[in-house]
Structure 1
Amino acid sequence: MRVQAFIDGFNLYHAIDNLTKNDTSKKYYKWVNLHSLMEAFIKPSQDTLDNVFYFSAHATWRSSSLIKHRTYVNALKAYNVDVILGHFKKKNMKCNSCNAKWETHEEKESDVNLCIHLLQNAHLDNFDKALIVTSDSDMVPVIEMIKQTFPHKEIVVLTPPNRYQISHEIRSTVTTIKIKERHIQNNILPTTINHNGSTITKPTSW
Protein backbone atom coordinates (compact mmCIF):
# COMPACT_ATOMS: atom_id res chain seq x y z
CA MET A 1 0.00 0.00 0.00
CA ARG A 2 1.11 3.55 -0.74
CA VAL A 3 1.31 5.44 2.55
CA GLN A 4 1.50 9.16 3.24
CA ALA A 5 1.86 10.72 6.68
CA PHE A 6 0.44 14.08 7.78
CA ILE A 7 1.85 15.46 11.03
CA ASP A 8 0.33 18.23 13.15
CA GLY A 9 3.65 19.67 14.32
CA PHE A 10 2.39 21.69 17.27
CA ASN A 11 0.16 18.90 18.55
CA LEU A 12 3.13 16.53 18.58
CA TYR A 13 5.57 19.13 19.93
CA HIS A 14 3.44 20.05 22.95
CA ALA A 15 2.92 16.38 23.78
CA ILE A 16 6.68 15.80 23.70
CA ASP A 17 7.29 19.02 25.65
CA ASN A 18 5.00 17.73 28.41
CA LEU A 19 7.07 14.53 28.57
CA THR A 20 10.25 16.52 29.13
CA LYS A 21 9.09 19.18 31.61
CA ASN A 22 9.86 17.11 34.69
CA ASP A 23 12.89 15.35 33.25
CA THR A 24 15.38 17.52 31.40
CA SER A 25 17.33 14.43 30.34
CA LYS A 26 14.53 13.79 27.85
CA LYS A 27 14.83 17.15 26.08
CA TYR A 28 16.42 15.36 23.14
CA TYR A 29 13.00 13.86 22.35
CA LYS A 30 12.28 17.12 20.50
CA TRP A 31 14.97 16.08 17.99
CA VAL A 32 12.73 13.27 16.77
CA ASN A 33 13.14 11.86 13.27
CA LEU A 34 9.62 12.10 11.91
CA HIS A 35 10.36 10.00 8.84
CA SER A 36 11.64 6.99 10.76
CA LEU A 37 8.93 7.53 13.39
CA MET A 38 6.28 7.09 10.70
CA GLU A 39 8.10 4.03 9.35
CA ALA A 40 7.56 2.44 12.78
CA PHE A 41 3.83 2.35 12.04
CA ILE A 42 3.86 0.68 8.64
CA LYS A 43 4.36 -2.93 7.57
CA PRO A 44 7.41 -2.99 5.26
CA SER A 45 6.22 -6.18 3.59
CA GLN A 46 2.94 -4.51 2.60
CA ASP A 47 3.42 -0.74 2.79
CA THR A 48 5.65 1.90 1.21
CA LEU A 49 6.02 5.26 2.94
CA ASP A 50 5.99 7.69 0.02
CA ASN A 51 5.72 11.06 1.78
CA VAL A 52 5.86 12.57 5.26
CA PHE A 53 4.29 16.04 5.56
CA TYR A 54 5.08 18.20 8.59
CA PHE A 55 2.81 21.18 9.30
CA SER A 56 4.01 23.92 11.65
CA ALA A 57 4.93 27.62 11.88
CA HIS A 58 7.90 29.64 13.10
CA ALA A 59 7.48 31.69 16.30
CA THR A 60 9.40 34.61 14.81
CA TRP A 61 9.17 36.81 17.94
CA ARG A 62 11.02 34.23 20.06
CA SER A 63 14.61 34.34 18.83
CA SER A 64 15.89 31.30 20.73
CA SER A 65 12.93 29.12 19.80
CA LEU A 66 13.06 30.35 16.21
CA ILE A 67 16.70 29.32 15.78
CA LYS A 68 16.03 25.85 17.22
CA HIS A 69 12.92 25.34 15.15
CA ARG A 70 14.63 26.40 11.92
CA THR A 71 17.47 24.01 12.70
CA TYR A 72 14.98 21.21 13.29
CA VAL A 73 13.11 21.99 10.06
CA ASN A 74 16.38 21.79 8.11
CA ALA A 75 17.16 18.47 9.76
CA LEU A 76 13.75 17.10 8.80
CA LYS A 77 14.25 18.18 5.20
CA ALA A 78 17.53 16.27 5.17
CA TYR A 79 15.49 13.16 5.96
CA ASN A 80 12.97 13.70 3.17
CA VAL A 81 10.22 15.29 5.23
CA ASP A 82 8.07 17.78 3.31
CA VAL A 83 7.72 20.89 5.49
CA ILE A 84 4.65 23.12 5.07
CA LEU A 85 4.75 26.25 7.22
CA GLY A 86 1.90 28.51 8.31
CA HIS A 87 2.40 31.62 10.39
CA PHE A 88 1.50 33.31 13.67
CA LYS A 89 -0.79 36.33 13.86
CA LYS A 90 -0.76 38.95 16.61
CA LYS A 91 -3.87 38.93 18.76
CA ASN A 92 -4.95 41.59 21.26
CA MET A 93 -6.33 40.24 24.54
CA LYS A 94 -8.24 41.93 27.35
CA CYS A 95 -9.19 40.83 30.87
CA ASN A 96 -12.90 41.42 31.45
CA SER A 97 -12.34 41.66 35.21
CA CYS A 98 -9.50 44.17 35.43
CA ASN A 99 -9.44 45.57 31.87
CA ALA A 100 -5.75 44.70 31.53
CA LYS A 101 -4.64 44.44 27.90
CA TRP A 102 -1.84 42.45 26.34
CA GLU A 103 -0.70 41.07 23.04
CA THR A 104 -0.33 37.39 22.24
CA HIS A 105 0.20 35.32 19.11
CA GLU A 106 -2.14 32.82 17.52
CA GLU A 107 -0.93 30.14 15.14
CA LYS A 108 -2.64 30.23 11.76
CA GLU A 109 -2.91 27.93 8.74
CA SER A 110 -1.25 24.73 10.00
CA ASP A 111 -4.52 22.87 10.59
CA VAL A 112 -5.98 24.19 7.35
CA ASN A 113 -2.82 23.28 5.44
CA LEU A 114 -2.94 19.76 6.83
CA CYS A 115 -6.59 19.34 5.80
CA ILE A 116 -5.97 20.78 2.33
CA HIS A 117 -3.00 18.53 1.65
CA LEU A 118 -4.83 15.49 3.00
CA LEU A 119 -7.87 16.14 0.79
CA GLN A 120 -5.78 17.01 -2.25
CA ASN A 121 -3.68 13.87 -2.02
CA ALA A 122 -6.78 11.74 -1.52
CA HIS A 123 -8.42 13.35 -4.57
CA LEU A 124 -5.28 12.84 -6.68
CA ASP A 125 -5.14 9.22 -5.50
CA ASN A 126 -1.62 9.65 -4.13
CA PHE A 127 -2.12 7.27 -1.21
CA ASP A 128 -3.92 4.10 -0.21
CA LYS A 129 -3.37 4.74 3.49
CA ALA A 130 -2.95 8.02 5.38
CA LEU A 131 -1.31 8.30 8.79
CA ILE A 132 -2.41 11.46 10.61
CA VAL A 133 -0.53 12.52 13.73
CA THR A 134 -2.90 14.54 15.91
CA SER A 135 -5.28 14.47 18.86
CA ASP A 136 -7.22 17.48 17.60
CA SER A 137 -10.94 16.79 17.22
CA ASP A 138 -11.09 19.51 14.54
CA MET A 139 -9.76 16.84 12.19
CA VAL A 140 -12.92 14.74 12.51
CA PRO A 141 -14.92 16.45 9.69
CA VAL A 142 -12.17 16.04 7.09
CA ILE A 143 -11.60 12.43 8.15
CA GLU A 144 -15.30 11.69 7.81
CA MET A 145 -15.39 13.38 4.40
CA ILE A 146 -12.51 11.28 3.10
CA LYS A 147 -14.07 8.10 4.48
CA GLN A 148 -17.34 8.87 2.69
CA THR A 149 -15.81 10.08 -0.58
CA PHE A 150 -12.96 7.57 -0.78
CA PRO A 151 -14.19 4.51 1.15
CA HIS A 152 -11.41 2.35 -0.29
CA LYS A 153 -8.73 4.48 1.38
CA GLU A 154 -7.53 3.67 4.90
CA ILE A 155 -7.18 6.45 7.48
CA VAL A 156 -5.23 5.87 10.69
CA VAL A 157 -4.73 8.48 13.41
CA LEU A 158 -1.57 8.28 15.51
CA THR A 159 -2.12 10.11 18.79
CA PRO A 160 0.92 11.85 20.35
CA PRO A 161 2.22 10.53 23.70
CA ASN A 162 -0.31 10.81 26.56
CA ARG A 163 -2.93 12.37 24.28
CA TYR A 164 -4.96 9.22 23.68
CA GLN A 165 -7.55 9.94 26.38
CA ILE A 166 -8.36 13.43 25.10
CA SER A 167 -8.81 12.19 21.54
CA HIS A 168 -12.04 10.29 22.30
CA GLU A 169 -13.96 12.03 19.49
CA ILE A 170 -11.38 10.95 16.93
CA ARG A 171 -11.30 7.42 18.35
CA SER A 172 -15.01 7.05 17.67
CA THR A 173 -14.43 7.97 14.03
CA VAL A 174 -11.35 6.12 12.84
CA THR A 175 -8.68 3.56 13.74
CA THR A 176 -6.42 5.16 16.35
CA ILE A 177 -2.97 4.04 17.53
CA LYS A 178 -0.89 5.47 20.37
CA ILE A 179 2.54 6.93 19.76
CA LYS A 180 4.32 5.78 22.89
CA GLU A 181 7.37 7.26 24.55
CA ARG A 182 9.50 4.37 23.34
CA HIS A 183 8.62 5.25 19.74
CA ILE A 184 10.12 8.70 20.30
CA GLN A 185 13.19 7.29 22.06
CA ASN A 186 13.89 4.88 19.22
CA ASN A 187 13.64 7.48 16.45
CA ILE A 188 15.99 10.35 17.19
CA LEU A 189 17.94 12.25 14.54
CA PRO A 190 21.76 12.12 14.62
CA THR A 191 23.39 14.89 16.64
CA THR A 192 25.19 16.07 13.50
CA ILE A 193 23.77 15.84 10.00
CA ASN A 194 25.67 16.64 6.80
CA HIS A 195 23.30 17.73 4.07
CA ASN A 196 23.90 19.53 0.76
CA GLY A 197 27.35 20.68 1.80
CA SER A 198 26.28 22.08 5.17
CA THR A 199 26.29 20.73 8.72
CA ILE A 200 23.15 20.68 10.87
CA THR A 201 23.76 20.28 14.60
CA LYS A 202 21.22 19.47 17.29
CA PRO A 203 20.64 22.47 19.59
CA THR A 204 22.55 21.99 22.83
CA SER A 205 19.45 22.73 24.91
CA TRP A 206 17.77 19.74 23.27
Structure 2
Amino acid sequence: MKTACFVDGYNFYYGLLNNTSYKWLDLRKLIEQILYIQNPSFQLEKITYFTSPIKPDLARRGVLSDEAQKTYIRALKSSNIEVIMGRHKLERARAPIYKKGEKADRNKSCDIWLLEEKETDVNVALYMYRTALLESQKLANDLSKIEQILLVSGDTDMTPALKMIKEDFPSMKIGLIFPQRENLKRTPPGSLIELADWSRKVVKESELNQNQFPDRIPTKKKPILKPSYW
Protein backbone atom coordinates (compact mmCIF):
# COMPACT_ATOMS: atom_id res chain seq x y z
CA MET A 1 0.00 0.00 0.00
CA LYS A 2 1.65 3.20 -1.21
CA THR A 3 1.90 5.72 1.63
CA ALA A 4 2.45 9.49 1.85
CA CYS A 5 3.69 10.66 5.26
CA PHE A 6 3.14 14.12 6.78
CA VAL A 7 5.18 15.10 9.86
CA ASP A 8 4.34 17.98 12.19
CA GLY A 9 7.95 18.87 13.00
CA TYR A 10 7.28 20.99 16.11
CA ASN A 11 4.99 18.36 17.64
CA PHE A 12 7.42 15.61 16.63
CA TYR A 13 10.47 17.32 18.14
CA TYR A 14 8.95 18.28 21.49
CA GLY A 15 7.02 15.03 21.83
CA LEU A 16 9.84 12.68 20.94
CA LEU A 17 13.32 14.19 20.62
CA ASN A 18 13.69 17.14 22.98
CA ASN A 19 16.18 16.52 25.82
CA THR A 20 17.40 13.26 24.23
CA SER A 21 20.54 12.17 22.39
CA TYR A 22 18.47 11.10 19.35
CA LYS A 23 18.03 14.45 17.60
CA TRP A 24 20.17 13.37 14.62
CA LEU A 25 17.32 11.09 13.58
CA ASP A 26 17.10 9.52 10.13
CA LEU A 27 13.38 10.16 9.82
CA ARG A 28 12.90 8.21 6.60
CA LYS A 29 14.47 5.05 8.04
CA LEU A 30 12.39 5.34 11.21
CA ILE A 31 9.10 5.73 9.32
CA GLU A 32 9.98 2.88 6.97
CA GLN A 33 10.73 0.63 9.93
CA ILE A 34 7.47 1.44 11.71
CA LEU A 35 5.45 0.94 8.54
CA TYR A 36 7.06 -2.43 7.91
CA ILE A 37 6.34 -3.58 11.46
CA GLN A 38 2.74 -2.45 11.11
CA ASN A 39 2.27 -4.18 7.75
CA PRO A 40 5.03 -5.39 5.38
CA SER A 41 2.84 -4.40 2.42
CA PHE A 42 3.03 -0.71 3.36
CA GLN A 43 5.37 1.17 1.01
CA LEU A 44 6.62 4.66 1.85
CA GLU A 45 6.47 6.88 -1.24
CA LYS A 46 7.14 10.33 0.16
CA ILE A 47 7.58 12.30 3.38
CA THR A 48 6.70 15.96 3.87
CA TYR A 49 8.11 17.61 7.00
CA PHE A 50 6.61 20.86 8.33
CA THR A 51 8.46 23.22 10.64
CA SER A 52 9.36 26.88 11.23
CA PRO A 53 12.75 28.58 11.44
CA ILE A 54 14.16 29.12 14.90
CA LYS A 55 14.46 32.64 16.30
CA PRO A 56 18.07 32.62 17.61
CA ASP A 57 17.40 35.35 20.18
CA LEU A 58 14.85 33.10 21.90
CA ALA A 59 16.58 29.74 21.43
CA ARG A 60 18.34 28.02 24.32
CA ARG A 61 21.67 28.00 22.49
CA GLY A 62 21.12 31.07 20.35
CA VAL A 63 22.85 30.98 16.96
CA LEU A 64 24.00 27.40 17.58
CA SER A 65 20.37 26.26 17.75
CA ASP A 66 19.63 28.04 14.48
CA GLU A 67 22.65 26.43 12.80
CA ALA A 68 21.70 22.99 14.15
CA GLN A 69 18.17 23.27 12.77
CA LYS A 70 19.45 24.34 9.34
CA THR A 71 21.92 21.44 9.37
CA TYR A 72 19.20 18.95 10.25
CA ILE A 73 16.96 20.27 7.48
CA ARG A 74 19.82 19.71 5.04
CA ALA A 75 20.11 16.15 6.33
CA LEU A 76 16.38 15.56 5.84
CA LYS A 77 16.50 16.93 2.31
CA SER A 78 19.50 14.70 1.54
CA SER A 79 17.24 11.70 2.29
CA ASN A 80 14.62 12.97 -0.18
CA ILE A 81 12.26 14.52 2.35
CA GLU A 82 10.31 17.63 1.33
CA VAL A 83 10.52 20.41 3.94
CA ILE A 84 7.79 23.06 4.16
CA MET A 85 8.62 26.10 6.27
CA GLY A 86 6.14 28.18 8.22
CA ARG A 87 7.12 31.08 10.46
CA HIS A 88 7.19 32.25 14.07
CA LYS A 89 5.29 35.31 15.20
CA LEU A 90 6.55 37.26 18.22
CA GLU A 91 4.44 40.03 19.70
CA ARG A 92 3.65 41.75 22.96
CA ALA A 93 0.60 40.45 24.81
CA ARG A 94 -0.93 40.25 28.27
CA ALA A 95 -1.65 37.09 30.23
CA PRO A 96 -2.95 36.25 33.72
CA ILE A 97 -0.23 36.01 36.37
CA TYR A 98 0.36 32.47 37.63
CA LYS A 99 0.22 31.92 41.38
CA LYS A 100 0.21 28.44 42.83
CA GLY A 101 -3.17 27.52 44.26
CA GLU A 102 -5.01 30.42 42.59
CA LYS A 103 -7.25 30.42 39.52
CA ALA A 104 -6.35 32.46 36.47
CA ASP A 105 -7.69 36.00 36.81
CA ARG A 106 -7.71 38.45 33.90
CA ASN A 107 -7.75 41.32 36.37
CA LYS A 108 -4.32 40.20 37.56
CA SER A 109 -2.27 40.10 34.37
CA CYS A 110 1.16 41.14 33.14
CA ASP A 111 2.91 41.98 29.89
CA ILE A 112 4.56 39.04 28.10
CA TRP A 113 6.23 38.17 24.83
CA LEU A 114 3.95 35.73 22.97
CA LEU A 115 5.77 33.42 20.54
CA GLU A 116 3.55 31.45 18.18
CA GLU A 117 4.31 29.07 15.34
CA LYS A 118 2.22 30.13 12.35
CA GLU A 119 1.09 28.35 9.17
CA THR A 120 2.30 24.85 10.10
CA ASP A 121 -1.09 23.40 11.10
CA VAL A 122 -2.87 24.76 8.05
CA ASN A 123 -0.01 23.62 5.80
CA VAL A 124 -0.20 20.05 7.14
CA ALA A 125 -3.97 19.98 6.72
CA LEU A 126 -3.94 21.40 3.20
CA TYR A 127 -1.13 19.14 1.98
CA MET A 128 -2.89 16.05 3.30
CA TYR A 129 -6.22 17.04 1.77
CA ARG A 130 -4.68 18.00 -1.57
CA THR A 131 -2.88 14.65 -1.69
CA ALA A 132 -6.16 12.79 -1.07
CA LEU A 133 -7.90 14.88 -3.74
CA LEU A 134 -5.25 14.43 -6.42
CA GLU A 135 -4.88 10.71 -5.77
CA SER A 136 -8.66 10.20 -5.95
CA GLN A 137 -8.54 11.46 -9.54
CA LYS A 138 -6.13 8.72 -10.62
CA LEU A 139 -7.33 5.45 -12.13
CA ALA A 140 -7.60 2.50 -9.78
CA ASN A 141 -4.90 0.61 -11.71
CA ASP A 142 -2.44 3.54 -11.68
CA LEU A 143 0.69 2.10 -10.07
CA SER A 144 1.71 5.52 -8.72
CA LYS A 145 -1.51 6.01 -6.77
CA ILE A 146 -1.16 6.85 -3.07
CA GLU A 147 -3.53 4.67 -1.04
CA GLN A 148 -2.68 5.77 2.49
CA ILE A 149 -1.99 9.02 4.33
CA LEU A 150 0.20 8.73 7.44
CA LEU A 151 0.11 11.61 9.93
CA VAL A 152 2.90 11.92 12.50
CA SER A 153 1.46 14.26 15.12
CA GLY A 154 -0.50 14.36 18.36
CA ASP A 155 -2.07 17.74 17.63
CA THR A 156 -5.87 17.63 17.82
CA ASP A 157 -5.98 20.61 15.43
CA MET A 158 -5.51 17.95 12.73
CA THR A 159 -8.86 16.33 13.60
CA PRO A 160 -11.03 18.36 11.17
CA ALA A 161 -8.66 17.63 8.27
CA LEU A 162 -8.66 13.88 8.92
CA LYS A 163 -12.43 13.91 9.32
CA MET A 164 -12.90 15.62 5.95
CA ILE A 165 -10.51 13.23 4.24
CA LYS A 166 -12.38 10.29 5.75
CA GLU A 167 -15.73 11.67 4.58
CA ASP A 168 -14.70 12.89 1.12
CA PHE A 169 -12.29 10.08 0.19
CA PRO A 170 -13.47 6.92 2.01
CA SER A 171 -11.07 4.68 0.08
CA MET A 172 -8.04 6.59 1.40
CA LYS A 173 -6.59 4.81 4.42
CA ILE A 174 -5.30 6.87 7.35
CA GLY A 175 -2.45 5.91 9.67
CA LEU A 176 -1.31 7.78 12.78
CA ILE A 177 1.99 7.80 14.66
CA PHE A 178 1.80 9.57 18.01
CA PRO A 179 5.28 11.08 18.66
CA GLN A 180 5.93 9.87 22.17
CA ARG A 181 8.70 7.75 23.68
CA GLU A 182 7.61 4.55 25.36
CA ASN A 183 8.54 5.70 28.89
CA LEU A 184 6.29 8.79 28.79
CA LYS A 185 2.69 8.77 29.96
CA ARG A 186 0.77 11.19 27.76
CA THR A 187 -2.60 9.88 26.58
CA PRO A 188 -2.90 9.83 22.76
CA PRO A 189 -5.75 12.08 21.57
CA GLY A 190 -8.88 10.01 20.99
CA SER A 191 -10.20 12.39 18.34
CA LEU A 192 -7.27 11.47 16.07
CA ILE A 193 -7.15 7.76 16.90
CA GLU A 194 -10.87 7.34 16.16
CA LEU A 195 -10.32 8.59 12.61
CA ALA A 196 -7.28 6.42 11.90
CA ASP A 197 -7.41 2.93 10.40
CA TRP A 198 -4.39 2.11 12.56
CA SER A 199 -2.24 3.96 15.06
CA ARG A 200 1.13 3.62 16.79
CA LYS A 201 0.93 5.18 20.25
CA VAL A 202 4.64 5.14 21.14
CA VAL A 203 8.03 5.11 19.42
CA LYS A 204 10.49 2.77 21.10
CA GLU A 205 13.83 4.11 22.30
CA SER A 206 15.54 1.23 20.49
CA GLU A 207 13.97 2.45 17.22
CA LEU A 208 15.29 5.96 17.78
CA ASN A 209 18.74 4.56 18.56
CA GLN A 210 18.81 2.30 15.49
CA ASN A 211 17.77 5.02 13.05
CA GLN A 212 20.35 7.76 13.40
CA PHE A 213 22.15 9.50 10.54
CA PRO A 214 25.90 8.91 10.32
CA ASP A 215 27.91 11.71 11.94
CA ARG A 216 29.06 12.76 8.48
CA ILE A 217 26.64 12.65 5.55
CA PRO A 218 28.43 12.94 2.19
CA THR A 219 26.80 15.08 -0.51
CA LYS A 220 27.78 16.33 -3.96
CA LYS A 221 28.71 19.61 -2.27
CA LYS A 222 29.72 20.26 1.34
CA PRO A 223 29.23 17.23 3.66
CA ILE A 224 26.61 17.50 6.37
CA LEU A 225 28.09 17.18 9.87
CA LYS A 226 26.15 16.28 12.98
CA PRO A 227 25.94 19.32 15.35
CA SER A 228 28.66 18.91 17.98
CA TYR A 229 26.37 19.31 21.01
CA TRP A 230 23.84 16.74 19.71
TM-score, normalised to structure 1's length?
0.88
Question: RMSD of aligned C-alpha atoms?
Answer: 1.9
1:51 and 1:180 mapped to 2: Cα distance?
A: 23
1:163 and 1:118 mapped to 2: Cα distance?
A: 28
Match in the other structure for 1:148: 167
CA apart distance, 1:145:
0.8
Match in the other structure for 1:85: 85
Match in the other structure for 1:205: 229
CA apart distance, 1:64:
2.2
The answer on 1:173 being equivalent to 2:195 is yes
Partner SS for 2:208: helix
Distance 1:86 1:190, change over 3 A: same
Higher strand proportion (structure 1 or 2): 1
Letter matched to residue 50 of structure 1: E
| Match 2:128 to one of 118, 123, 126 | 118
CA apart distance, 1:87:
0.4
CA apart distance, 1:196:
2.4
Within a 5 Å distance, the mapping from 1:176-187 to structure 2 comes to 176-178=199-201, 179-187=203-211
Within a 5 Å distance, the mapping from 1:1-206 to structure 2 comes to 1-18=1-18, 20=19, 26-27=20-21, 29-43=22-36, 46-61=41-56, 62=59, 63-97=63-97, 99-125=109-135, 126-161=145-180, 162=184, 165-174=187-196, 175-178=198-201, 179-206=203-230
Letter matched to residue 70 of structure 2: R
Distance 1:140 1:163, change over 3 A: farther
CA apart distance, 1:95:
3.9
CA contact (8 A) 2:166 2:195 kept: no
Q: Unmatched 5+ residue regions in structure 2? A: 98-107, 136-144
Partner SS for 1:183: helix
1:52 and 1:164 mapped to 2: Cα distance?
A: 25
Distance 1:96 1:11, change over 3 A: closer
Moved over 6 A (4+): none
2:146 and 2:186 mapped to 1: Cα distance?
A: 25
CA contact (8 A) 1:59 1:65 kept: yes
Deviates more, 1:195-204 or 1:179-188: 179-188
CA apart distance, 1:131:
1.1
- The total of aligned residue pairs comes to 199
CA contact (8 A) 1:56 1:85 kept: yes
CA apart distance, 1:155:
0.3
CA apart distance, 1:183:
2.1
Letter matched to residue 135 of structure 1: G
Distance 1:158 1:54, change over 3 A: same
Letter matched to residue 176 of structure 1: S
